[in-house]
Amino acid sequence: MSFPIPTGSYVVMNAMTHTYLNLLTFNPVPGAIVCSVGNRLGNDIVRLPHTHRKPSLISQWNVATTESTGLTIQSFGTGAFVSYEDYAGVVTSDSIYSWTLEQNNAVPYAWNIVDNSTGAALAVEGNSTANGAPVIIAVETSGASQAWFFIAKVPIPGTN
């Protein structure tokens, strides 16, 4: 069963590792999706300076329902979408990619982020708490390692 969250901007935290969904440095599309610990070693929850742009929030995500089915997860900082490609794994894309949120049964108030195409869910590789740990797609969708909290944020004007 799917329970959509309201359209808005969120910080997305893994329930098992307590790390945040993030982008690896400022890699161009397709860039790696990783988890960060919020300690400024990656593009974390702080405003980071760009050489040609204003600061942006890389670990903040815009979540919106799609016209047909599911929802999109888009980086507030770069505008790239979270997607999955067989050859590259969980990466960013310039194209809209559809996901579904399913309530996680192992962790109250948490959601599985499920790929509409494969039925697999996002997870942190090896349940790693390391900064920059890769985000992967896992067939198992009922464990705590696939559980994600969506923490609502208010976008900061002028950051993107």
Q: The CATH number of the domain where 26 resides is what?
A: 2.80.10.50
b/e map 95-112, b = 16+ CB within 10 Å: eebbbbbbebeebeebbb
**What backbone phi and psi angles, to 5 degrees, belong to 144?**
-65, -25
Question: How many structural domains does the chain have?
Answer: 1
- Please give the chain's pLDDT, 160 residues, in tens: 345 688 888 989 999 999 889 887 666 788 888 887 765 444 444 444 444 443 334 578 899 988 777 899 998 878 889 999 988 889 989 999 999 999 999 999 999 999 999 999 999 999 998 888 899 999 877 788 899 999 988 765 555 4
Establish if 17 belongs to a structural domain.
yes
Establish if 95 belongs to a structural domain.
yes
pTM of the model: 0.82
Query: In which domain, by residue range, is 149 found?
Result: 8-153
